[in-house]
Structure 1
Amino acid sequence: MSLQDIYRSKLVSPQQAAQLVKSGDWIEYGFCATAPRAFDTAMAERKEELFDVNIRVGVSVHPSKAFESDPTGEHFTWNSWHFTGLDRKYAGMGAAFYNPIKFSELPRYVLENQRTDIFVAQVAPMDKFGFFNFGVSNSHHYGAVARAKKIVVEVNEKMPRVHGGYAHGIHIDQVDCIIEGDNLPLPELPSAPPSEVDRAIAQLIMKEMHDGDCVQLGIGGMPNALGAMIAESDLKDLGGHTEMLADSFVDMFMAGRMNGRRKNIDNGRMAYTFALGSKKLYDFLDDNPFCASYPVDYTNSAEVAAKIDNLVTINNAVEIDLFGQVCAESAGVRHISGQGGQLDFVIAGYLSKGGRSFICLSSTYKDKQGNPKSRILPTITPGGIITDTRSNTMYVVTEYGMFNCKGQSAWQRAEGLIGIAHPDFREELIKNAEKMGIWRRSHKR
């Protein structure tokens, strides 16, 4: 049979593909923007026939017709590898839960620790060799493919065809069902406009940047501000090795700042595991040999990333305490985000020869009543999740300065972190440090 004959033999409607689902099944959706649309809608139509079906997702950007048809969770339960605003909304409705992860280990979780009955993902159209391309998400897909009993691909002609790396596609021989979807545009993530605080923090980090550095950026206004500053700077020969690829990497490349020529591995290429941004980003990815899509156990492996000299990793936090413990996932027990690859890159940034790891946060935020609150606290808010342990924290940056926690004693950490807290809260923080026995009398008082 020709490839086209095989294709036609596996081509089904979304409703036919959804018939694969049985009560009690565990279904893995494609990561982030590769989560299925038509299949999900067809599964929602079967709601009354199905019970206790678990859906696993990561970085949700598509509303789920299946889950929204059953917010009580009698039929469908939502399990997320990383919370977005959509996941938080679903958690508030009930029957949506977070799966704690260290992102670099996610393929192994799926291969060894999680049952998967069906894997379904959006893909680019089949090429002349019989391969479907996973486009904007690689993540842990190879593990889901190996583990799943049935594999469904949902073809989207608007999915960019990306270069690897490896594990960025699947051959038709491995596929059980093919759906031709509605070719909906990929979701766009508007660039968060940087605040004055974001710009102040980015300016502090820019002073620590050098020609030939390799950059990892997280998500948010501050990384966007830093990317814009780099694009407008005179830095040269930068590299990119990151978990999430965002618009700021396009800006750095197009400005001639990023070419990867000094990278120890993937020389001349930018490695990433998933992309989320604007159409500009998706067009940049399409058939671009500079961009290398890898599974997350490659991009986020501290062992791999640390082989790159001068790796600079930039991540955000919700709060940090005077011991140097970082919470980037929750506000007390209320879940906000997830660990993702933050700890992976915090470790890799320090292990890299000449590397630097930065945790960035505004010094304050306002509560629901509009009252300012410090993000630097005596101890993490009760119930708060420790994303980075105190021994892993390197540079902490607020708009008031930068402090390197590495190798510092308890009193040095307290003194250094209080020194970059908002001035209105420093005296109170000193009093708490004294009570906790981590304050040393000094001229810093």
Structure 2
Amino acid sequence: MTTFLGLQTLDELTNYYYGRTPDEIMKAGYTTGDAGAYNPIFGAIAWANFNLEANLFAALPKFVWDYSGARIFTAKGDTLTDKGSSNNTAKGGNVEGGLIPDSVKPTIEEVQFKPKTLVYPFEVSELHEHLVEGSRDDLFGSLAHQRIYAADQFKENLNNMLTLDPAVLANEAADDLTLLDLESIPRIVSNDAEEDAVALGWNDAFDPWRGTASIDRDSATTYDSTVNSAGASLTTSDVITNSTFTDTLSDIRIAGGKEPNLLVGGQDTYSEVQKAYFNAVRIQNASEARSEFNVSVNGINTFDGQGVGLHISTVYGLPFIPTKDSPGSTSTNAGDLFILNTSADKMAPNKPLLGLQVLKPILYYEASKRQQGWPFIVDSFVDRALYEMLAETTCRNFKAQGKVINILKGN
């Protein structure tokens, strides 16, 4: 149980923690401009004034790596040949006492996944670490300090990988380097029509798992997801409407036979979706309006009135998860709206249709004076640490995924 020290002022707090009084910190008879007269005191922890959220990484289901690949149906086994002359129909209707038609089967494609090695290293010199722990100098940057920031930064980097838009890459060489990262959702949830419309100059920009898988969206529509535009075509932009959203849901259901369960988009995407539904609710019948109220902020009250505005948590029952990393976002366009299905694959129990397959979860490693053999284990007088993960983004049903692109930022 923590004992209350009874500290009432900053002077008392400073004296308790640093053993110095304000008079000792600010020397009498000197100005703050005199060298050595003023000894500023800083906190050891640094504030991270950045948004390090990783919502898409957090929202995707994670499952254990067992197989480095999957089989995907690329064509239905739904057409029977006629065993004789009008013996049976293509769908299976058979003449009474007739011959049994030849067997049929779907076409199966093997898709290989390769785990990606994902790392975030950091370090501090032996001298710095000893000064942090064994002196009264005010320092920042020990492994303990960095460990907290690095954990959030590593997850943000993973989120950046998942939201990478191939359209922002300058050339194929730049795209090739990104193959070391987690496969991105914009590349997985795509189709040949989008690849043609974007026209980046190389034909495999929207082929996921390039180098290991044999997915080529130029050859057929086998691996196509649903990609609709808020504009009249895949090359034009417009504000998103309820009609665009419901039409896309319909297209996904028809193509994949499944109901999506997750919406993901940028904060600007979230804003545009709010606008699409705001007009429908902002004018209320006066008799139905809730009672007036006010809000207090640091003891200051607002005028009495009614709240306005709309926060969306779901659209047609689908949860909307906003993320700051927004593929497709430009000065004029909001980020793409992804309509995903991360539910379990009935063909592969305990595996989601879309998710992160993990061979090795995020682990923390440290080579420091706290470890036997330091400092020779790292061949220098430093304390080093890193976060590491072995994983890859996988998808077992492209048809169950979709997105809306070219969402114009409205007023």
TM-score for both structures, normalised by structure 1? 0.21
Decide which structure has greater helix share.
1
Q: Which has the larger radius of gyration?
A: 2
Identify which of structures 1 and 2 has the higher relative contact order when contacts are C-alpha pairs closer than 8 Å and 6+ apart: 2
